[in-house]
Amino acid sequence: MNLLKITSAEQIPIEYNDTPIGELIKYQNLSESFKNYNVAQLLVGMCMDNRKQLRIPENFAFIIRTGGANLRYCEFKVSFAIAIGGVKHIALIAHDNCGMVNLVSKRDQFIEGLCKNAGWSKSRAEEHFMNYAPMFEIDNEIEFVFKESRRLSEKYPEVMVVPLLYSVEDNMLSAIF
């Protein structure tokens, strides 16, 4: 897989030109002036990480934030945005240094945090981690979002699904090919 950090309009892949995906990249990376929108133009699936903030106008996008940009358990919401919201484009945005990568290494911290911050017993926190971590763990941010975009493209063949990577360091989006 290749990454293309987009720093000029000429670098935006041609298939994204004149689409909400291209507009998203221009807003985020090129500080394009906002247009007014009355309805959402696309669905953005992105991680819940608090270090990420998109620069987009009001009413531009439906946004689903979930660990690792994993939409496997949000498909009804995706279908709603397509069926009711009329979106024909999905930007699936992973980011570098994602906490959902290698969750097993965070097991003890997770359990201790639930005990300390939520008042859970250790056994309850352990069971919770063991039941859910395998569902949400991802091996590699870029590979995961690329594969997830392909999966969603197959499920919704008339919708353009584009994988992107958000750099926490500079808030820039890169295209993934």
CB 158 within 8 A of CB 86: no
The reply to whether 120 and 156 lie within a common domain is: no
User: For every one of its 177 residues, what pLDDT tens digit does the chain have, with 9 covering 90 and above?
Assistant: 899 999 999 999 999 999 999 999 999 999 999 999 999 999 999 999 888 889 999 999 999 999 989 999 899 999 999 999 999 999 999 999 888 998 999 999 999 999 999 999 999 999 999 999 988 888 899 999 999 999 999 999 999 999 999 999 999 999 999
Angle between helices 122-136 and 107-118 (to 10 degrees): 130
**Segment 127-175, tens digit of pLDDT:** 999 999 988 888 899 999 999 999 999 999 999 999 999 999 999 999 9
Contacts of 111 (CB under 8 A, 6+ apart): 122, 125, 126, 129
Q: Which domain holds residue 114?
A: 102-137
pLDDT for position 135: 87
Residue carrying structure tokens 């309009």: 9
State what percent of residues in the chain have pLDDT above 90: 85
CB atoms within 10 A of CB 21: 25
On whether both 77 and 108 belong to a single domain, the answer is no
Q: Do 74 and 143 belong together in one domain?
A: yes
Residues 83 and 55 in one domain: yes
Quick one: 88 and 46 in the same domain?
yes
Q: How many domains does the chain have?
A: 2
* 133 and 144 share one domain: no
